[in-house]
Structure 1
Amino acid sequence: MAGAEARLDNAGTALWLTDWKVELPVAWTPRRVLAMVGGERAGRLDFLVHPDGQAVSVWAVEVQPVFQRRNLRAVMMDALYAAHPTAWIDHGGREPDGVRWWDQYTDPAPERNIHNRPPSQWAQYFDAVQVAAQRAKNAYLNMHFGLNGHRAAEHRYGERLEAEAQEWTSAFREAAARGPDPAVQELHGGLRLVLPPRLHRLVHDGRRDGGERAEMLLDYIGHGNLPYEAGWNITEQAAFEDMAHEEVFDTPFGDDEVTHLSFRVRLAAGQEVPPHDLRATWLTYVNSPGVGVELTGLSWRSPERPWTTHEADFSPPIDAAVAPRNSRNTSPQYAARYDLGGELLPGQLPRRSDDPFAGREEEIAAMAARLKASGLDRARAQLSPPPTMREVFEGLHVHQQDPSQRQAPRLQ
């Protein structure tokens, strides 16, 4: 299902497994199974994935009223199980509609449902006390509506489990955030826009040079007008997924032809890392005052023909900027080069970095020092006798998690 935004057409039912951008203060990755029927949004299943991929937390399952009673909830849940075939799954506490649906659903892997297993097996991923409370809520609703709720599969169904939960809650560990580092990584941000008809035809004409068409696009957008509201992702695919999400969930542009763009950028040489909110696979710049970047590539495609992606690499990169969020906090560096619309000011010309090492003297010096130290270590190793197998095994580093770390509680 990954990359299925390239097949969200008007034929039949399509499932799309994609990122789900939500501001969560945890390291788990938000994901979504999106169901499309006849080109229309029919349902969604929102969930979180632990960084090691071995735990999944279901947050919400929704089917649009016109598409209900077509088994779409079960189809999306089955897809979640298939996408994470070895992970523990927490279904959380259910609402009345949820307990009725669960009573009719056949769990494809009940042995991976944490409500069916003792906390000793999954407590490092989920707070045992919170899970016990969710189970109590589900049991009450089952009783209220006269439902079975697969009680035979549940761990010690109907018993008081407060003591057991308290015993295992200390095993709960917060996952460490491993988001992108803008200081060293290239990042990808998306923009969805409507171009004038003639420009649209030109930039989607594959017979023309890609670099020429990319510069047409950049001139139209403005060198200083890269989107401040974008989520800057570690992959280009994620940037295009953001645009496809907008196409599905946001107000449509009417009958106009739309273009989806993905910018590949790195921070400009000498630019300090601006304040940013870090997530598992993406970041946003906080109240951007105008973030100087080097634009190293641009890709674009039509959502009507997403199987054709046009692209251009810029070498050397083009000088550009992420637009300020508002005019009141525009940085002096940005204001000296761009107007409030992101256009170059009179007398300011597009420029490229002719020297890829300019402004990176400290970084290059640090790398040279590391290489020199590594060379000395290898030279010393060649003068020493090889270690015995016992010495090798005794020297292995065993990773120990910090017991002071605790995972943020699962939001309801």
Structure 2
Amino acid sequence: MAADTESLPEEGLALWLTEWKVSTKIPWLGRHLVASVGSTAAGQLDFFLHPDGQAVKVVMLRVHPDFQRRGLASVLMDALYAAHPTAWINHGWRTENGARWWNGYREPAPQRNVHNRPPEEWATYFDAVDVASDKAHNAHQNRHYGLDGHREAVYRYGERLEAEAALHAAAYRPVTPVRVDPGAQPLHGAARLVLPPAVHEYVHDRAQDPDARAAALLEHLGHGNLPREAYWNTSQQAAFADVHHEDLFDRQPSGPPVTHVVFTLAPLQASVPPAARALATSVEFEHPGDVAVDVTGLAWRQADRPYLTHQASYAPAVAAAIVPLSAQQASAAYRARYDEEGFLRAAPRDGARPFADRADQIRAMADRLLRGQAARARTHRPSSAPPQTAVQQPSTPAQRPPGPSQRP
């Protein structure tokens, strides 16, 4: 491999580790190791981690074309070795580009590479026949492209390994999958929101009451609009990592500011639908209809300011729902409480008020908003001008068609 033509920037390079949601048939833990430069995704290393942390299987190493030949792939691989300092590393088979890169890579701990050690040392973690097949593939790649591929380090390089691998195949110990129980602990799911300017300014104003800002955020989104595509994690940090990973690869360079919101749900108990994709530390609801939940808290922050996180708790919990796949698949209870856009329906005209428990909270929030607006108007009035009668401007409505449930 030729020498790097340009070095990486000294400032702005960040590495972070996040969960990789993989098939439920794979019992190992999926992980992403992502490199970013500023707000740009520069490279990514995907791997599986054994539940006991003592074995790693590399799946894919990729670098954005703008950052290739600058040593970033080596940085990612070195970070993997450092993150798991005692684990066996299985690099699997390599493509042409992978073989050429590996030929120039200086492995920090070749003694932990399963391709360099006899199967009897690592056969409980990896199928010895599969490893032998990968080694044969890599040997063919090296011969075809005229590469050394660290030949001296590879155990019995170039010899027939089928017989030896078969001797150790019985030592392999499959892993029993671990699945999260949605009814055993709170769950956290995230969404990316582009808010109207006025709403964005208010919910990120740390001088305002966090409970009122959280209520305003949920009112703007709609109680029946909790994200369907989100994985619901067992930790808030994992939920923020999910949405940050999505934002890193989807963010527009000059777009409007994005808000990351994490919803905390109470344990779902018996309300869990049968169609749910449960992984080791997260669950994805595949039920096409709505899922009734209780929101116990909100956390939110700007995508470019993760160090400023806002928090609010609900006591008692607020009834909400994960949005159905379509209006036709919504349950009768969902249609009775929410309109087709997921907003709370207005009180019926016959005097019955099934949502009276929310009326006082909404009214109090509106009063606080009006008092804050009036106070800011008095504070910023020019001292040289005579007193003026304040004229209240109509508030910016939520970005949806007006209807009977529209609130000021």
TM bucket normalised to smaller: 0.7 to 0.9
> CA contact under 8 A between 2:24 and 2:277: conserved in structure 1?
no
> CA contact under 8 A between 1:21 and 1:30: conserved in structure 2?
yes
Alpha-carbon separation, structure 1, partners of 2:112 and 2:175: 20
- Which amino acid in 2 is paired with 1:29? L
Closer/same/farther in 2, CA of residues 281 and 54 from structure 1, 3 Å limit? same
Q: What residue is the counterpart of 1:385 in the other structure? A: none
TM-score, scaled to structure 1: 0.79
Structure 1 unmatched runs, 5+: 1-8, 353-412
> CA contact under 8 A between 1:319 and 1:350: conserved in structure 2?
no
Q: What residue is the counterpart of 2:167 in the other structure? A: 167
> CA contact under 8 A between 1:19 and 1:30: conserved in structure 2?
yes
Q: What residue is the counterpart of 1:349 in the other structure? A: 355
> CA contact under 8 A between 2:183 and 2:268: conserved in structure 1?
no
TM-score, scaled to structure 2: 0.80
- Which amino acid in 2 is paired with 1:21? K
- Which amino acid in 2 is paired with 1:73? A
- Which amino acid in 1 is paired with 2:49? V
What's the offset of the Cα at 1:94? 0.2
Alpha-carbon separation, structure 2, partners of 1:142 and 1:253: 40
Instruction: Deviation per CA, 1:355-403: give whole Å up to 9, x if none.
Output: xxxxxxxxxxxxxxxxxxxxxxxxxxxxxxxxxxxxxxxxxxxxxxxxx
Q: What residue is the counterpart of 1:229 in the other structure? A: 229
What's the offset of the Cα at 1:241? 0.9
Closer/same/farther in 2, CA of residues 151 and 351 from structure 1, 3 Å limit? farther
- Which amino acid in 2 is paired with 1:150? H
3-state DSSP class of the match of 1:190? strand
Structure 2 residue 321 is matched with structure 1 residue 315: no
3-state DSSP class of the match of 2:185? coil
Q: What residue is the counterpart of 2:27 in the other structure? A: 27
> CA contact under 8 A between 1:267 and 1:292: conserved in structure 2?
no
Q: What residue is the counterpart of 1:299 in the other structure? A: 299
Q: What residue is the counterpart of 2:148 in the other structure? A: 148
Q: What residue is the counterpart of 1:278 in the other structure? A: 278
> CA contact under 8 A between 1:10 and 1:38: conserved in structure 2?
no
> CA contact under 8 A between 2:44 and 2:62: conserved in structure 1?
yes
What's the offset of the Cα at 1:331? 2.2
What's the offset of the Cα at 1:236? 0.5
Structure 2 residue 133 is matched with structure 1 residue 133: yes
Equivalence map 1:242-391=2 (5 Å) = 242-250=242-250, 252=252, 254-268=254-268, 270-347=270-347, 348-349=354-355, 351=357
What's the offset of the Cα at 1:270? 4.9
Q: What residue is the counterpart of 2:62 in the other structure? A: 62
Closer/same/farther in 2, CA of residues 63 and 309 from structure 1, 3 Å limit? same
Which protein shows a greater Rg?
2
- Which amino acid in 2 is paired with 1:42? A
> CA contact under 8 A between 1:259 and 1:300: conserved in structure 2?
yes
Closer/same/farther in 2, CA of residues 10 and 276 from structure 1, 3 Å limit? farther
Q: What residue is the counterpart of 2:45 in the other structure? A: 45
Equivalence map 1:112-131=2 (5 Å) = 112-131=112-131
Alpha-carbon separation, structure 1, partners of 2:183 and 2:342: 23
Alpha-carbon separation, structure 2, partners of 1:127 and 1:260: 41
Alpha-carbon separation, structure 2, partners of 1:254 and 1:270: 45
Q: What residue is the counterpart of 1:157 in the other structure? A: 157
- Which amino acid in 2 is paired with 1:85? P
Closer/same/farther in 2, CA of residues 296 and 10 from structure 1, 3 Å limit? farther
- Which amino acid in 2 is paired with 1:331? S
Structure 2 unmatched runs, 5+: 1-8, 348-353, 359-408
Flag the structure with more relative contact order, 1 or 2, with Cα contacts below 8 A and sequence separation at least 6: 1
Instruction: Deviation per CA, 1:96-127: give whole Å up to 9, x if none.
Output: 11111111111111111111112222222211
What's the offset of the Cα at 1:350? 7.1
Structure 2 residue 85 is matched with structure 1 residue 85: yes
> CA contact under 8 A between 1:190 and 1:230: conserved in structure 2?
yes
Closer/same/farther in 2, CA of residues 269 and 64 from structure 1, 3 Å limit? closer
Moved more, 214-223 or 116-125: 116-125
Q: What residue is the counterpart of 2:239 in the other structure? A: 239
Q: Percent identity between the aligned chains?
A: 49
Q: What residue is the counterpart of 2:362 in the other structure? A: none
Closer/same/farther in 2, CA of residues 244 and 350 from structure 1, 3 Å limit? farther
Instruction: Deviation per CA, 1:269-320: give whole Å up to 9, x if none.
Output: 6524442111122110013411111111100000121101001111221111
Alpha carbon RMSD of aligned pairs, Å?
Answer: 2.0
